[in-house]
Amino acid sequence: MNGHGVLPAIGLDQVGNISHAYVIKRDSRLVTYELSFGDGVLTMKIGIAGAAILVLAACSPPDDMSDNAAAAAAKSDSINAPAAADVPAPPEPPKVPDGSGVVFNDNAEVEGGAREFSYEWPKQVSAIPALAKELETQRDKALAEQKQWWAESLADCPPDFTACRNSTFELGWQVVADLPRYLSLSSGFYSYTGGAHGNSGRGSLIWDRKAGAAIDPKAMFTSLDALDAAISDTACKRLNRERSERRGGEEFRTEGEWPNQCVSMEETVMFMGSSSGQKFDRIGIYYAPYVAGAYAEGDYEFTVPVTRQIIDAVKPVYREAFAPGK
């Protein structure tokens, strides 16, 4: 754990991207996407500006984006934002997995533009054929969609208009915790399809070896309300400490409205971690750009220990997989 309470050693610091998703909910800061995954679904969240990228509308706002949402995205960079020099740089590409992990690349170049595609997963995924097959299906779908978008963009964009002639897609899965029954994974994604900057975010899943199925970490809890009650106070205090550092160091006071609100668990990405390799005893908390502050503040990430109150909010069928952390 580093000085900010983040767990880079267990895969909580990777980046990548995704483009194969369906909008299921939208508000002024965040779009939630639903991804088909075998017999179930998983969700990923990204700030509203990143959502415009992910729905493949890089050269203009997405058609279904409301005027209020578009205005909020445009305005957010100017609210509580550091100077232009402090705008976060594009994230580093995901690290190459060791051993029998998969590193897949598919690139192409044309005059005035290029297409880059990268999709990776570690050896622990390859050791589970059903999981590897699911990720392979998602990878192939993402590649086909990127190729289609790029072909249409090349046809529509003048040769000297390079912004719409370049496309980057990076997605990397990393192990957060490998327990006897459960494999906890984080996905990091980065996309660029034109404009001033690319967009990034993260997602997560847990593979249940016994059931042979993927689980959204939040589905392990009795309800989002119960999860909010168990963790929101701790998470909000940690978030406000980070906000204070990024906004000049003055004392920070939570308010009800963005960008000073306590972020609900519905808008939070969770990573289930373990210090023992036997039980989940810590939880990574991640807020995508625009969720907890302006884009220039970057994303927010920190780790909180599992408490008795959190365990009480876990569904009985999963409760034995959790233990109090430190």
The pLDDT tens digits for 107-149 are 999 988 999 999 999 999 999 999 999 999 999 999 999 999 9
| Cα distance between residue 97 and residue 93, in whole Å | 12
Provide the pLDDT for residue 162. Answer: 82
A 10 A CB-CB count for 259 gives 18
Q: Is 80 in the same domain as 229?
A: no
Q: Is 228 in the same domain as 136?
A: no
Domain C-terminal end among 216, 245, 263: 216
CATH code at 166?
Answer: 3.30.565.40
Residue 326 lies in a domain: no
Residue 180 lies in a domain: yes
Residue where the block lists tokens 């960008």? 259
Provide the pLDDT for residue 93. Answer: 44
Q: Which H/E stretch holds residue 283?
A: strand 282-287
Provide the pLDDT for residue 66. Answer: 38
Residue 258 has φ and ψ, to the nearest 5°, of -60, 140
Give the model confidence (pLDDT) of 67-107 as tens digits.
Answer: 443 444 444 444 344 443 344 444 444 444 445 899 999 99
Provide the pLDDT for residue 261. Answer: 93
Q: Is 226 in the same domain as 146?
A: no
Q: What is the CA radius of gyration of the chain?
A: 19
Q: Is 100 in the same domain as 24?
A: yes
Q: Is 211 in the same domain as 224?
A: no
Q: Is 149 in the same domain as 53?
A: yes
* Residue 301 belongs to domain spanning: 220-321
Q: Is 152 in the same domain as 267?
A: no
Give the model confidence (pLDDT) of 232-261 as tens digits.
Answer: 999 999 999 999 999 988 777 777 889 999
Residue 51 above 60 pLDDT?
Answer: no
Residue 1 lies in a domain: no
Give the model confidence (pLDDT) of 138-193 as tens digits.
Answer: 999 999 999 999 999 999 988 888 888 999 999 999 999 999 999 999 999 999 98
pTM: 0.73
Domain C-terminal end among 185, 216, 247: 216
Q: Under the phi-then-psi rule, with left for phi > 0, alpha for psi from -120 to 50, and beta for the rest, what region is 298?
A: left
Q: Is 101 in the same domain as 33?
A: yes
Domain C-terminal end among 216, 231, 263: 216
Residue 36 lies in a domain: yes
Residue where the block lists tokens 């109090």? 324
Give the model confidence (pLDDT) of 256-315 as tens digits.
Answer: 889 999 999 999 999 999 999 999 999 999 999 999 999 899 999 999 999 999 999 999
Number of domains in the chain: 2
